[in-house]
Protein backbone atom coordinates (compact mmCIF):
# COMPACT_ATOMS: atom_id res chain seq x y z
CA UNK A 1 0.00 0.00 0.00
CA UNK A 2 1.08 3.57 -0.46
CA UNK A 3 0.12 7.18 -0.19
CA UNK A 4 -0.62 8.93 -3.47
CA UNK A 5 -0.32 12.53 -4.67
CA UNK A 6 -3.36 13.56 -6.67
CA UNK A 7 -4.48 16.32 -8.96
CA UNK A 8 -4.41 19.22 -6.52
CA UNK A 9 -0.61 19.17 -6.51
CA UNK A 10 -0.39 19.77 -10.25
CA UNK A 11 1.09 23.22 -10.97
CA UNK A 12 1.04 24.00 -7.21
CA UNK A 13 3.98 21.95 -5.87
CA UNK A 14 3.98 23.38 -2.35
CA UNK A 15 6.61 20.81 -1.25
CA UNK A 16 5.64 20.90 2.46
CA UNK A 17 5.18 17.13 2.18
CA UNK A 18 8.82 16.61 1.26
CA UNK A 19 9.99 17.99 4.60
CA UNK A 20 7.84 15.49 6.51
CA UNK A 21 8.77 12.28 4.75
CA UNK A 22 11.11 10.16 6.89
CA UNK A 23 12.26 8.03 3.96
CA UNK A 24 12.60 10.78 1.30
CA UNK A 25 10.24 9.00 -1.10
CA UNK A 26 8.43 12.07 -2.51
CA UNK A 27 10.01 12.96 -5.84
CA UNK A 28 9.72 16.14 -7.88
CA UNK A 29 8.62 16.11 -11.50
CA UNK A 30 7.98 19.00 -13.84
CA UNK A 31 4.43 19.88 -12.76
CA UNK A 32 3.77 17.73 -9.68
CA UNK A 33 5.41 15.57 -7.05
CA UNK A 34 5.06 11.80 -6.94
CA UNK A 35 5.22 9.26 -4.12
CA UNK A 36 7.28 6.16 -4.80
CA UNK A 37 4.88 3.27 -4.10
CA UNK A 38 7.60 0.84 -3.04
CA UNK A 39 9.66 3.28 -0.97
CA UNK A 40 6.69 4.79 0.94
CA UNK A 41 6.32 3.20 4.38
CA UNK A 42 2.73 4.43 4.88
CA UNK A 43 3.65 6.63 7.83
CA UNK A 44 1.00 9.22 6.94
CA UNK A 45 3.12 12.23 7.92
CA UNK A 46 2.81 13.93 4.53
CA UNK A 47 -0.97 13.84 4.20
CA UNK A 48 -2.01 16.51 6.76
CA UNK A 49 0.63 19.09 5.82
CA UNK A 50 -0.37 19.57 2.18
CA UNK A 51 -2.16 22.94 2.00
CA UNK A 52 -4.27 21.87 -0.98
CA UNK A 53 -5.11 18.37 0.33
CA UNK A 54 -3.54 16.62 -2.61
CA UNK A 55 -2.34 13.52 -0.71
CA UNK A 56 -4.42 10.42 -0.02
CA UNK A 57 -3.90 6.94 1.32
CA UNK A 58 -4.55 4.80 -1.72
CA UNK A 59 -7.74 3.27 -0.27
CA UNK A 60 -9.10 6.76 0.38
CA UNK A 61 -8.61 8.19 -3.11
CA UNK A 62 -11.79 9.82 -4.42
CA UNK A 63 -13.26 8.09 -7.45
CA UNK A 64 -12.13 10.83 -9.81
CA UNK A 65 -8.53 10.52 -8.59
CA UNK A 66 -8.02 6.75 -8.85
CA UNK A 67 -5.92 7.28 -11.95
CA UNK A 68 -3.24 8.95 -9.88
CA UNK A 69 -2.38 5.67 -8.14
CA UNK A 70 -1.09 4.23 -11.42
CA UNK A 71 0.26 7.62 -12.48
CA UNK A 72 2.43 8.01 -9.36
CA UNK A 73 3.82 4.53 -10.10
CA UNK A 74 4.29 5.36 -13.78
CA UNK A 75 6.58 8.24 -12.84
CA UNK A 76 9.07 5.63 -11.62
CA UNK A 77 8.40 2.56 -13.73
CA UNK A 78 7.63 4.00 -17.16
CA UNK A 79 10.28 5.65 -19.29
CA UNK A 80 9.45 9.34 -19.01
CA UNK A 81 9.71 11.72 -21.99
CA UNK A 82 13.30 12.78 -22.57
CA UNK A 83 14.80 9.92 -20.55
CA UNK A 84 16.33 6.66 -21.74
CA UNK A 85 15.20 4.39 -18.91
CA UNK A 86 12.73 4.32 -16.02
CA UNK A 87 13.81 5.94 -12.77
CA UNK A 88 13.12 2.69 -10.93
CA UNK A 89 13.80 2.89 -7.19
CA UNK A 90 16.34 5.69 -6.67
CA UNK A 91 16.26 5.26 -2.88
CA UNK A 92 15.92 8.95 -2.07
CA UNK A 93 14.54 12.05 -3.74
CA UNK A 94 17.20 14.46 -2.50
CA UNK A 95 20.06 12.70 -4.20
CA UNK A 96 18.09 12.31 -7.45
CA UNK A 97 16.92 15.92 -7.57
CA UNK A 98 14.03 17.31 -9.65
CA UNK A 99 13.13 15.46 -12.84
CA UNK A 100 12.00 17.65 -15.74
CA UNK A 101 9.21 15.31 -16.83
CA UNK A 102 5.82 14.07 -15.69
CA UNK A 103 3.81 10.88 -15.66
CA UNK A 104 1.19 10.59 -18.43
CA UNK A 105 -1.94 11.61 -16.53
CA UNK A 106 -0.34 14.75 -15.06
CA UNK A 107 1.36 15.62 -18.33
CA UNK A 108 -2.03 15.58 -20.09
CA UNK A 109 -3.77 17.83 -17.57
CA UNK A 110 -4.69 21.37 -18.51
CA UNK A 111 -2.38 23.80 -16.76
CA UNK A 112 -3.92 25.17 -13.56
CA UNK A 113 -1.52 28.05 -13.04
CA UNK A 114 -2.47 30.04 -16.12
CA UNK A 115 -5.66 31.99 -16.81
FE1 LIG B 1 2.15 18.89 -3.74
FE2 LIG B 1 0.93 19.24 -1.49
FE3 LIG B 1 3.29 18.16 -1.53
S4 LIG B 1 0.92 20.63 -3.23
S5 LIG B 1 4.26 19.09 -3.26
S6 LIG B 1 1.46 17.30 -2.42
S7 LIG B 1 2.55 19.60 -0.02
FE1 LIG C 1 4.89 7.72 2.57
FE2 LIG C 1 4.10 10.18 3.08
FE3 LIG C 1 5.26 8.76 4.94
S4 LIG C 1 5.06 9.44 1.25
S5 LIG C 1 6.62 7.39 3.89
S6 LIG C 1 3.32 8.34 3.96
S7 LIG C 1 5.55 10.91 4.59
Ligand 2 atom closest to the CA of 21, numbered from 1? 7
Residue 62's pLDDT band, with cuts at 50, 70 and 90, is very high
pTM of the model: 0.96
Domain ranges for the chain, please list them: 1-109
Instruction: Count the neighbouring beta carbons within 10 Å of the beta carbon of residue 88.
Output: 10
Query: What is the DSSP code string of 8-23?
Result: GGTTT---HHHHH-TT
> Does ligand 2 lie within 6 Å of residue 3's CB atom?
yes
> Does ligand 1 lie within 6 Å of residue 83's CB atom?
no
CA of 94 from ligand 2 middle (Å) equals: 15
pLDDT digits (tens, 9 = 90+) for 77-92: 999 999 999 999 999 9
Assigned CATH for 1-109: 3.30.70.20
Amino acid sequence: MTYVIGKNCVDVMDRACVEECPVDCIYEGGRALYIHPDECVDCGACEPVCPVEAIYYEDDLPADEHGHLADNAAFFFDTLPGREAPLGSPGGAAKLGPVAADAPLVAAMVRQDQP
